[in-house]
Structure 1
Amino acid sequence: MKIVCLIKFIPDVEDFKYDHERNVLIREKMNQILNPEDAVAVAFALNVKKYYPSTTIELVSMGPQSIIPKLEELLRLDLDQATLITDLAFVGSDTYATSRIIAHYLNKHKVDLILTGTHTLDGDTSHVPAQIAQWLGLPHLSNVNSIHMNSIDLGRLELSVDHDQEIMSFAVSTPAVLSLQKEAPYKLPYVRFEDLNKDVSERLKMLSLKDFDLKREDVGFEGSKTKVIKTFAQTLKKQTKIEVTTDEAGIQTVYDYLKDKGFLK
């Protein structure tokens, strides 16, 4: 079985940099972390390989070359290959252009299962997995909560999907695109001590625009259907905590608070 994990490295909000003229994130020199839900997808793929040792796992990511050390860290978890799609021409690609680029790569390879996260912390549109599935003509399910391991090699996966306030069961034929959620019970292992400095460079390849059957106007800002107007790191205000006692003064405080908020007339 061949599994491809689509992963994205996202900006660390503590090191947030933004190009206000072009309305894009500056990713080249920014500290980036693996998107949490993509980590869940990789963890599940490793579980599959544990039960079915003949499974091969490829990571596919689109981003700057500065994420190469991050990819190498993941390769040391006994993953088979990583492909980095990187080119300055891709800067500014929206979900439409991004999914088109990745789908062009995947369309040239025989893949049994494509895994990724449902959401990313830096965008949260959840468009890309579904768009890739559409480009490839494959079934897609998002918010996948669990996949039954005993159905993996049957060509028909049984899985559970978190649908608002209920869990629904589905069966889907492979190949398919599945987007996992962070609540799924799959956790990335740590790299073994003896593999911390292992050379995995031969398992990493890089692709640029010249490796795709795409034109310059198909990617980046020109190839995008949407435009980002503004991006910012959200800051949360610390709420003031009010403690009251169960006496007349405390009751009056609660009453005044509820009335002030409009809960009481």
Structure 2
Amino acid sequence: MSDWQKLVENKEWSALNDFWRHHASQEVCAEILEALRHLVPVFERTNGTESRFEHALPREVPPDLAGAAQILCLGELEATALDDDFITTYLTQWNELFPQVQKSCAELAALPEVTDGAADMSRAHHAKKASELLAFIPAILEAMLYPGDAEDEEPDELGTPLQEHVAMAAVYAFTAGRHFQLAIGKEHELDALRGGKVLKSARKAAEQTNALHAAQRERRLARMAELVPHLGPSQAARNCEREGLGAVSAILSQWHRHQK
């Protein structure tokens, strides 16, 4: 067992904090980070229909884990462990975001509509329009790289910084749009939550009803299976009714559904 593993096992968080800051390599910091992530519980944060999962804060865990939660909360260990991957350039962020969003737009455009009305307000229209607008940004980024000319074949040294600025504007605008849309939608989230509760209650009631009638249903179907080959469905259902297994119409409907 390594020194830092002993500190984790003994929950000596102050000593562990000092160790990773002054004596640990990046690789060891990554191992410590992974160990703390497994140790500190993860909570779900919710607001309306939004939710995210994150590690608990120091005040949310038992006292013997508060130090570990504090190390994770500060983020310095993560920054050291991830190094260059901790803070990516805006151009890298955009290059990762763009194909993901385009893929999502294509998937949304292909889904059946859930609302009725004007076509230019449909889900498919909004998804296609978003995809079309986003498609302009790579061309703008490409235009930032001056390729040089006959007299000066060296590319413009300002090209990459300009791309970074354009990518930053794109990422900021996209993120701002998302937050703005979520802010507008908060007014309707309560209705969505209420509707979800109603549907959940309805499903639960249906499950309870099905459970209550399951035994009766099985008796009906078993008796119909015995009688139908000899009497046919209609006469078999009438016999079942006389035996107290329900009304003829209900028995026949259930039998026909069972046969499909």
TM-score normalised over the length of structure 1: 0.22
Question: Relative contact order, CA 8 A, sep 6+: which one is greater?
Answer: 1
TM-score normalised over the length of structure 2: 0.23
Q: Between Structure 1 and Structure 2, which shows a larger proportion of helix residues?
A: 2
In terms of Rg, which structure is larger?
Answer: 2
Q: Between Structure 1 and Structure 2, which shows a larger proportion of strand residues?
A: 1
